[in-house]
Structure formats: structure tokens, C-alpha cells
Amino acid sequence: MHPFRKAVEDRDEQAIEATLAEGVVFTSPVAFKPYPGKPITAAILRGVLRVFEDFRYEREIADPGGRDHALLFTATVGGRRIHGCDFLHFDEAGLIDELTVMVRPLSAAQALAEAMGAQFERIANEAAAHGG
């Protein structure tokens, strides 16, 4: 099991943050522009932990070369069942330097956008407090 997966499943915010490179770029399933940097990425992931219910990874797919990983998940947000995938890319040190999330169906993606939108002020404040 990948350390990021274990950290998320354990809801261990510090362990999640420890898997991220300083220059990580987070690409959201519901926002147009990517979010660069560890402080904002960690804050977004903390927000996701707050809005997802019944979260669980169902499958893990690893690149034989070790630089890419996909984690398929299910969760509930705003009463909608969501299916998604975390696509991870690792730098030379083994830290996540790219994290892209995709989700379906559209109704669940919209519920996620609404729930995360409600979290965004807190996310921005947390990122700023941690140097972002």
C-alpha cells in the first residue's frame, strides 16, 4: 500500500502532507486552474477529508517504473455517491509532485464543487498560515 493511500485512509493530515513535494501541483476535478504548492494542496486535502463521507480506496494501480500511481476511490458528498481517481506522479525523492483528481458522475462532481466552495475561505486561510 502506498504511503499516501495509508495516510488518507488513516485520515492522518500530517502523514498526508509529508508525502507532498514542496512544489506539488494539485489539479482539482472542479476548478479550472491548478493549485501550485504544498501549503494550498495540503489545505485542499484537509478540506476534502472534511467533506467526504464513507471514503474508501477500492483499487491501486502502480506504474512498473514507480513514478506514477492511480488510486480509485468511492465516497459520499452532499448525499451523492462519487467515484473518483487520484493520479499521483512522484519526483526523484519519491514525493508527490503532481496530484490530479477526477470524479464522476456529474451530479456528484457538482455536489463536491458546492461542498468545497463552502470550505474555500478556510482552505485559503490554512494555506496562508502555512506559508502558501
pLDDT in tens, 8-63: 999 999 999 999 999 999 999 888 889 999 999 999 999 999 999 999 999 999 98
Q: Which of 35, 20, 112 is nearest to 73 (CA)?
A: 112
Sheet holding 35-36, edge to edge: 35-36, 20-27, 96-104, 80-90, 68-77, 53-62
Pick 3-129's CATH classification: 3.30.930.10, 3.40.50.170, 3.30.1960.10, 3.10.450.50: 3.10.450.50
Reported confidence tier of residue 132, pLDDT bands at 50, 70, 90: low
Strand pairing report for 20-27 and 96-104: parallel
- pLDDT more than 70, % of the chain: 99
Look at residue 65 in the predicted model and tell me its pLDDT.
Answer: 80
Instruction: Please write the tens of the pLDDT for every residue from 75-119.
Output: 999 899 999 999 999 999 999 999 999 999 999 989 988 888 888
Look at residue 59 in the predicted model and tell me its pLDDT.
Answer: 95
Verdict on whether the full-model pTM lies above 0.85: yes
Q: Residue ranges per domain, the chain? A: 3-129
Q: How far apart are CA 67 and CA 34, in angstroms?
A: 20
Burial class (CB in 10 A: 0-12, 13-18, 19+), 9: middle
101 near 28, Cβ under 8 Å? yes
pLDDT at 131 over 80: no
